[in-house]
Chains A and B, each alone.
Chain A
Amino acid sequence: MPEHLEHETLSALIDEPEAWPAARDHLRGCTACRREFNVMRRMRMALSALDDLDPPEAGWEAIEARLPVREERERAAGWPTLDFGGGWLSGSVRAAAAVIVFAAGVGLGLWVAPPTVSGAASGTRAASPGLADAGPAQAAASPDGPAGATPASETTDGSAVAASLAPTDGSDSSVSLPPDLPRPYRVLYSRLQALRARGPSPSEVLQHPEEAAQHLARLDALIRASREALQDAPADPAINDFLFQVVAERDALDRALHVASLEYR
């Protein structure tokens, strides 16, 4: 055994004191090594307690500038009238199909695990005719109707989907959207807004755990639909925006549920 322990040995003693019996024995009888051991142990603890750093102030702007969001959004704005003579025809058709499938998925997402909440939001809207095939229980429980049942092949401009997804109360959307965004996209966002209004806020999770679980299931369905749509149109800005919003919503709810479960214990 050397006169004093190497720092590497002291480091090993911090993690696995049982694995180094001779070094441990030395430590008991050596004041200098004990001091160094304590210093290194404090250093290790201080490292694990380092605070998070502040990201660069213009971080998001720099990232957004590297994303093709603006260009794609402008292209998406002209989407309902496809440029059949343009070079991006096939991409537009694929994007259009993806949006239609996406819209269908969103409709299904809203349809899954229909809310049991009472009140004006669920009680005043009539079931759409398309619910007949879904069975009476679902028809009665789903005020939105199976918008997802709209066949994607019916249209290439999304108007049928937009019509089937359109809010029945006449409102469009309270979400702040670019003014030139096509109607199908606007309708999707209005549906997200409606979904938010129907689910419990994170602070209400503890009081309404069943509603929170249903809301989580709806969000999962929306995420699945968005992911599937993105496989066909991975750069579609509206679907990506939508997915980010739903994921953020799900993340917040998931955290709230976790905190609530800890409080319950």
Chain B
Amino acid sequence: MGALYRAHAARVYTVVRRLAGDDALAEDLAQDAWIRAFRKLHLFRGDASFGTWMYRLATNTALNRLRRRGRRDEVEQEAELTSSAADLDDAVINQRLLGEALDRLPPGYRRVLVLHDLEGHTHEEIGELLDVAPGTSKSQLHKARARMRELLDPGGSAAAEQSEV
């Protein structure tokens, strides 16, 4: 079991951490996912690789928990980044800043953005995972990217606009 964990721990932790937006919650979600895997391993049919099966299980586990949790605290997190980017061109390739901005997105936006832009799911797949219409997923994605842009460089785009007027 330890060997399987070591082989797939980073992938599992990454997806749940990105979805959760919080270290402690992500750790808890990852543990839940692995324990579910341990208990459900007899259902693994070998149709896909273990990594794929585990990824799906972790994603579903995290989304189900976050959905229940979201009903309690679906409050948009408007806090600004601890360190703002002086130059967005640098910021967009700065992984730490991107990660911070992701954490500060409202949970609903973050889930769609993570599933689409980071994990490569289609809007149809996201619709099934989140139990929403594909059009809703698409709309949330564009809102999420717009919010990411603001978080990464608050006021930057406005300054650019003014310079053009």
Contact = CB atoms under 8 A, between A and B. Distances in A.
Given A46-B98, A244-B4, A227 B10 contact: no
Contact of A42 (B14, B46, B92): B92
A54 B10 contact: yes
Nearest to B33: A63
Contacts of B49: 251, 254-255
Contacts of A231: 42
B67 to A, nearest CB: 22
A67 interface: yes
B46 A43 contact: no
Interface stretch (A4-12, A89-97, A135-143): A4-12
A260 interface: no
Given A220-B46, A227-B43, A231-B42, A248 B7 contact: yes
A227 B44 CA distance: 8
Interface in A1-23: 3-4, 6-12, 14-15
A39 B89 contact: yes
A228 B120 CA distance: 34
A36 B149 CA distance: 9
A47 B147 CA distance: 14
B41 A53 contact: no
Contacts of A7: 142, 145-146, 149-150, 157
A9 B88 CA distance: 19
Interface in A27-70: 30-32, 35-36, 39-40, 42-44, 46-48, 50-56, 59-60, 62-64, 66-67
Interface string B47-58: 001110000000
A227 B58 CA distance: 20
Contacts of A247: 4, 41, 44, 46, 50
B51 A46 contact: no
Interface string B1-45: 111111101111110011000000001001100110011011110
Given A11-B142, A11-B146, A55-B12, A50 B42 contact: no
A254 B106 CA distance: 39
A27 to B, nearest CB: 13
Given A52-B11, A240-B38, A47 B113 contact: yes
A220 B148 CA distance: 45
B65 interface: no
A39 B149 contact: yes
A59 B148 contact: no
Interface string A222-261: 0100111011001000001101110110110011000000
B157 to A, nearest CB: 6
Contacts of A234: 39, 42
A53 B142 contact: no
Interface residues of B, number: 58
A260 to B, nearest CB: 15
A47 B98 contact: yes
A30 B145 contact: no
B120 A48 contact: yes
B142 A60 contact: no
Contacts of B161: 4, 32
A63 B35 contact: yes
Contacts of A66: 31, 35
Given A42-B92, A46-B92, A52 B145 contact: no
26 contacts: A3-B165, A6-B146, A7-B157, A8-B145, A11-B141, A15-B141, A32-B161, A36-B160, A43-B92, A47-B118, A52-B11, A53-B10, A53-B18, A55-B13, A56-B30, A59-B30, A63-B31, A228-B42, A231-B42, A243-B41, A247-B50, A248-B4, A250-B50, A251-B7, A251-B51, A255-B49
